[in-house]
Amino acid sequence: MNERPISLPRFARLPIIDAARGVAIVAMVIYHFGWNLSFLELIPVDLRDFPLWIWFGHAIAASFLALVGVGLVLAHGQGFGRERFLRRLAFVVGAAALVTAGTYLVFPDRFIFFGILHHIALASLLALPFLRLPWFGVALVALAVFALPIAFKAEAFSSPWLIWLGLGTRLPSTNDFVPVFPWFACVLMGIAMAKLWRPVASEAPAAPQRPMRALIWMGRNSLPIYLIHQPVLYGGLAVLASAMLPPVDRETRDFLLSCQEQCVGTGGDTLTCANFCGCTVSNLKKESLWQRVLADAPDVTLRLRIEAITRQCAAPKAP
């Protein structure tokens, strides 16, 4: 079978790229399934604290963003298709808005305001000038984008209006955060790789096998799958958790999560904050004050007792 390099027509789709996106979708579903199990305490370990699991999530995000860069080159590298670009951008922006609204309803304290879809929408615009640059120029800019948040951070960029840039000194409380720096570097590297890559077309391409066809289909429908899979996964597992965990356990878990986030946000380390919050809850229950705390209507006496308990739990322990 003869193979020859081709000049792809505008808006060409390559099955291998769709399949790669399909692999990323499968990995994302696995990641979110594990995240849900940990968050809902259906497994005895918290995967969210495992470095390898965290890097697994980062690798998935990086692959999606790199494929965005590759897709931009394939679709617009030989001529900008304005209508198609704007139509796709509108879909992504609308999907990002749905994610923000949906997570605000379910997780008002940790809703997603700049996650992967928000980044893709903005990166699609920021990447357009780089489609005309040679690959090595794009790669150099990618390295600079990646290095900037390592070399420079400022408290001013931690404000709600600028934190999405990724140059702040504090991380926001959100379930997904993909700031411009350093993640835009992945999109730029995807552009550079696509400019280096020379697609090859077969004169008589073989029909893909069933697993490959499934991956290609998922890759071509990645946006609706992204929007649908997590509500289905989380909703189903939440029902299971409601049946397995007594209400008091869920209330305790939510309180501990909120307490630990606030503690870490004030500069405490994870272990110290976990011990402090656990101690506080334990003492409140010992003194039969827990239900009054959950009622969220403390009187002066209760407030003073809570302050005494938190001081006691915050005091350093004797060696």
Task: List, for residues 255-281, the tens digit of each pLDDT value.
Answer: 888 888 888 777 777 778 888 888 888
pLDDT (tens digit, 9 = 90+) per residue, 167-181? 999 889 899 999 999
Q: Which pLDDT value is given to residue 108? A: 86
Please answer whether residues 268 and 277 qualify as being in contact, where contact means their C-beta atoms are separated by less than 8 angstroms: no
Asked if residues 230 and 112 have their Cβ atoms less than 8 Å apart, the reply is: no
pLDDT above 60 (res 205) = no
Tens of pLDDT, residues 248-262: 566 777 788 888 888
Average pLDDT over the chain, rounded to an integer: 86
Q: What are the pLDDT digits (tens) for 141-195? A: 999 999 999 999 999 999 989 999 999 998 898 999 999 999 999 999 999 999 9
pLDDT for position 45: 79
Torsion of CA 147, 150, 154, 160, to 10 degrees: 80
Q: What is the pTM of this model?
A: 0.74
pLDDT at 200 over 70: no
Q: Is the peptide bond before 182 cis (omega within 30 degrees of 0)?
A: yes
* Distance (Å, whole) CA 85 – CA 308: 59
Question: Considering Cα of 104, then 105, then 106, then 108, what sign does the dihedral take?
Answer: positive
Are residues 252 and 281 in contact, defined by beta-carbon separation less than 8 angstroms?
A: yes
